[in-house]
Chains A and B, each alone.
Chain A
Amino acid sequence: MKKALAIILSVLMVVAMFAGCTNTPETPDVDTPVVDEKPVVELTLWCSETEAWQGVMKELVDEFIAANADKATITVNIGAQSEATAKDTVLSDIEAAADVFFFSDDQLTELVNAKALQPVHDVELISSANAAGAVDAASVDGTLYAYPATASNGYFIYYDKTVISEEQIASFDGILEACTAAGKYFGFDGMGGWVSPFCFFSDYEISLNADGTTNCNWNTAGGTDVLAGMQALFASEGIKLEASDESIAAMKAGDCAGFVNGTWNYAPMVEIFGENLACAKMPTFTVNGEQVQCGSMAGFKMAGVSAYSENVGWAMELAKFVTSEDAQARVFAAAGEGPANIAAASSDAVAENLALAALSEQAAYATAQSKLVGGNYWSPASTLHELAKAEIADLQAALDEAVAGITAPIA
């Protein structure tokens, strides 16, 4: 009896080890043409984990299935995968990626280099329906690789207009003056290199090469002045460098009068500031006594189709469907994210949205992330932001080291 038990246990042990393995679905026979019978199509869609996105996508997917019921029996599984980290998940096992997934444009080059994306077939249709900037952000070397979904993934200023006036919001000096006078502060989050070192986005070169490396000339002449300007700003009274959620908590408590952020926080801002909420483009900052306009990264969300999808045709149909004019309008209504679709963006509701108005004002000084920086940018840039918070012994050396990291070859 004991022996039998011992054997069962040791077999169980092995079985338990196998439990981690899952069945891989069998590849359908590619050679059989599916013409007569209604094919069975199973698709996976990854989109943001937020309730708004999941809800809208569920509706759209149901409509997509119903609309194609005569052509195929379709099932779509919706998974939660933040657009911000979609690339990491996709690249860790390209063949296991969802058939359709949403991602933000900064990940485009790496996804294209890993050949993870199926180029868009209806180029004419997609390019004409969406804003040129969004289409450009979804293209690499003239090939359109993704279906633009939103055009509001950038940042701007939310502020309390009873504290900061319209003239003051135009420059950091004015903002800090107003905040200090009111006994409040202005929150600032570098967001891991996305927002800061903002000062360099305007006059200096930073751009992405086709191989995924980044060009950067921040350490050339005048760079140290910009860094010194940044340091001076960070050390001024009236600004507090903290995470966005800390600023939001401080706004509720009445200590914070505004911050740099994006459309995803529109609803809580309306809730906190109500009638007093205002939005503005990024301010100017002082370098060597002169005012320089802050540049920024413009961001777009887009739907990509996995080149390894077993039903790539249906996946492209689905991607087209969930990024249509109607779909983008619904995403805007639910999540407050501005449409990339020209028709959807011209609606009254979009025009009335304060945040989107500020974004379009900033657009002149913004560049799409997908054209700006590669994967090696983030870590050195966020450290440069961190360094600017304190004294730096050798400004030039600090910039040289940062630039060496940013421009490093991809490994």
Chain B
Amino acid sequence: MGKEIRKDEASLGLFSGALVGWINGDIWVKLTAFIWGAGYLARKQIVKGIFSILLELTALYFTFAFAIDQIKMLPTLGDAEYSDPVYNPVTMQNEVPPYDNSFLILLFGVGSIIILIGFFLVWVSIIRESRTLEIRAKEGRPINNFYQDIKDMFDKKFHLTLLAFPCLGIITFTIVPLIFMICIAFTNYDKQHLPPAKLFDWVGFANFKSIFTNGLTDSFGYAFAKILTWTLIWAVFATFTTYIGGIMLSLLINNKNTKLKKMWRTFFVISIAVPQFVSLLLVRNFFRNSGIVNTILGEWGVTEFLGKIGLVDASLGYIPFLTDPNWIKAMVIIINIWIGVPYLMLIASGVLMNIPAELYESARIDGANAFQTFRKITMPYMLSVTGPYLITSFVGNINNFNVIYLLTKDVYTTQDQLLANARGSEVDLLVTWLYKLTRDYTNYKMASVIGIMIFVVCSVFTLIAFNMSMKGDKEGEFKI
């Protein structure tokens, strides 16, 4: 009988297991729900029992001394407005009456909820473990003492020990800030509501509404549609130009007729070694209206020629590489090729060297020409190995802050008044737009909404792409 229960219960999840265990358990297990260490103490796990009780006391103290107050303020995000400080000439310091800081309330509130969830999970797992111990005791199987438990953590359960630290880190530094930032998208945290001097408040979906619509005076909807479109165009071009360029380059370098392979490879790797922002700011100066590239092209007569065929306004006297909306779009893509190709060359070199030589040999015997072997052997092999890389680099390009921001900063002014009114420009990506909104205009609420939108775009794309690339096991297909 006992064994059956154990089996049944062991197959249950954390919550249902704890609930069933608590219903079926003896008085000690039932008591554990109220006094956390009871179950352990009953099975002679004294240290664990005492720790659990201490933990419960901490949880109770935290809840009633801190968390409840914070969570209670969450719905209003504070109501005591900051009032002007009073100067005390004796201490030479300002005295400020107590005030609420919406930012801290939101931060502590969200933090408290997450910590309470943590305590809840601990509580549930303690109940479940107490029940497991009860069953072990009834079956007469040995029960670990504290020392053995610790030993287990470094032996049978070593993976848990190892994972604990990174998980803690991810929760503290990724999940909590993420939840916090998502919350801001539902508030009016902006220049008009900057804590500590002002309070901000919940506004529901108003910010989402304004990113999809155009108000009388703001043009966020217009800017969002334009910038999103360009972001996607950019991501497609930036990803595929560097991908194909990198493969071509590594084919060229790895070609058996190429001399000094290592030297060529080193040349391209050097461009990785120079910090990206240095080379980008330098390139930006090269391509300015009076920059070195324009000077040279002007002397060679290229500018004049482009003027004649109508690619450049002839009266300008220079090529507006970074000041014309169409030119700059082409330029950022081209400059990105130069930045991105070396990375792909390295990856492609590795992959290409791993393609079995027999494949090429048999293809040659079958009479395939160079293009056919590239299309039927090299590319499928490349794609099967670098598929996931392609997807991550697409997502990376959606958020490719450096190239766009550094190349256009202080140089490009948008010529679209509606974009200008929403602080965007034709070459802005969602992420650079977001940066400008936060850094230059302290518009955190809209930045947060855009952040969520970027996440939605990236995750939708990644899910679709991974599903398609993983479906049908492409690598297996290729091998047959």
Q: Which residues of A contact B (CB under 8 A)?
A: 3, 6-7, 10-11, 13-14, 17, 30, 32-35, 88, 91-92, 94-95, 110, 113-116, 118, 121, 192, 212, 235, 242-243, 246, 249-250, 307-314, 375, 379-380, 382-387, 390, 398, 401-402, 404-405, 407-411
B291 to chain A: closest residue by CB = A246
B166 touches A14 (CB 8 A): yes
B92 touches A10 (CB 8 A): no
Which B residues touch A384, using CB under 8 A? 417
A115 to chain B: closest residue by CB = B197
B413 touches A382 (CB 8 A): yes
A386 touches B414 (CB 8 A): yes
- Set A10, A33, A235, A314: member contacting B90, Cβ < 8 A: A33
A10 touches B93 (CB 8 A): no
Which B residues touch A387, using CB under 8 A? 415, 417
Q: A380-B417, A380-B420, A411-B218 are in contact. Are A314 and B165 (CB under 8 A)?
A: no
How far is B219's CA from A283's CA once the two chains are assembled, in angstroms?
36
B197 touches A411 (CB 8 A): no
A32 to chain B: closest residue by CB = B91
Which B residues touch A30, using CB under 8 A? 91, 93, 95
Give how many B residues have a beta carbon under 8 Å from the other chain's beta carbons. Answer: 56
B290 touches A250 (CB 8 A): yes
A14 touches B196 (CB 8 A): no
B87 touches A313 (CB 8 A): yes
B194 touches A11 (CB 8 A): no
Q: Which 10 A-B pairs have the closest CB atoms?
A: A313-B92, A405-B421, A115-B197, A383-B420, A401-B417, A408-B217, A10-B165, A246-B290, A386-B413, A14-B169
How far is B92's CA from A212's CA once the two chains are assembled, in angstroms?
31
A-B contact pairs, 6 of them (CB 8 A): A91-B194, A242-B290, A312-B93, A313-B89, A390-B415, A408-B218
A-contact 0/1 string along B68-97, CB 8 Å cutoff: 000000000000001011010111111100
Write the nearest CB–CB distance from A227 to chain B, whole angstroms: 12
- Set B191, B417, B419: member contacting A375, Cβ < 8 A: B191
Q: How many inter-chain contacts with C-beta < 8 Å in the A-B complex?
A: 145
Contact of B173 with A by CB under 8 A: yes
Q: A91-B442, A114-B197 are in contact. Are A411 and B165 (CB under 8 A)?
A: no
A17 touches B217 (CB 8 A): no
A383 touches B415 (CB 8 A): yes
Write the nearest CB–CB distance from B96 to chain A, whole angstroms: 9
Which B residues touch A409, using CB under 8 A? 217
B438 to chain A: closest residue by CB = A92
A382 to chain B: closest residue by CB = B413
Interface centre among B87, B91, B440, B442 (most CB of A within 10 A): B91
Contact of B16 with A by CB under 8 A: no
- Set B93, B94, B191, B419: member contacting A91, Cβ < 8 A: B191
Contact of B6 with A by CB under 8 A: no
B417 touches A411 (CB 8 A): no
Q: Which residues of B contact A (CB under 8 A)?
A: 82, 84-85, 87, 89-95, 154, 158, 161-162, 164-166, 168-169, 172-173, 190-192, 194, 196-198, 216-219, 288-290, 313, 315, 413-421, 423, 438-443, 445-446
- Set B87, B168, B191: member contacting A411, Cβ < 8 A: B191
How far is B166's CA from A398's CA once the two chains are assembled, in angstroms?
54
B420 touches A92 (CB 8 A): no
B415 touches A110 (CB 8 A): no
A14 touches B92 (CB 8 A): no
- Set B89, B92, B288: member contacting A246, Cβ < 8 A: B288
Write the nearest CB–CB distance from A260 to chain B, whole angstroms: 17
Which A residues touch B216, using CB under 8 A? 404
Which A residues touch B413, using CB under 8 A? 192, 382-383, 385-386
Q: A312-B87, A313-B93 are in contact. Are A13 and B166 (CB under 8 A)?
A: yes
B172 touches A17 (CB 8 A): yes
Write the nearest CB–CB distance from B356 to chain A, whole angstroms: 35
How far is B99's CA from A94's CA once the two chains are assembled, in angstroms?
15
- Set A11, A17, A110, A314: member contacting B92, Cβ < 8 A: A314
A89 to chain B: closest residue by CB = B439
How far is B217's CA from A407's CA once the two chains are assembled, in angstroms?
8
Q: A3-B154, A383-B420 are in contact. Are A88 and B162 (CB under 8 A)?
A: no
A408 touches B191 (CB 8 A): no
Interface centre among A13, A379, A386, A411 (most CB of B within 10 A): A411
How far is B409's CA from A277's CA once the two chains are assembled, in angstroms?
32
How far is B415's CA from A246's CA once the two chains are assembled, in angstroms?
21
B440 touches A408 (CB 8 A): no
Q: A246-B289, A250-B290, A312-B93 are in contact. Are A382 and B421 (CB under 8 A)?
A: no
B90 to chain A: closest residue by CB = A33
A110 touches B439 (CB 8 A): no
Which A residues touch B154, using CB under 8 A? 3
How far is B443's CA from A33's CA once the two chains are assembled, in angstroms?
40
B197 touches A311 (CB 8 A): no
Which A residues touch B194, using CB under 8 A? 91, 94, 114
A311 touches B421 (CB 8 A): no
A112 to chain B: closest residue by CB = B197
A7 touches B85 (CB 8 A): no
A116 touches B197 (CB 8 A): yes
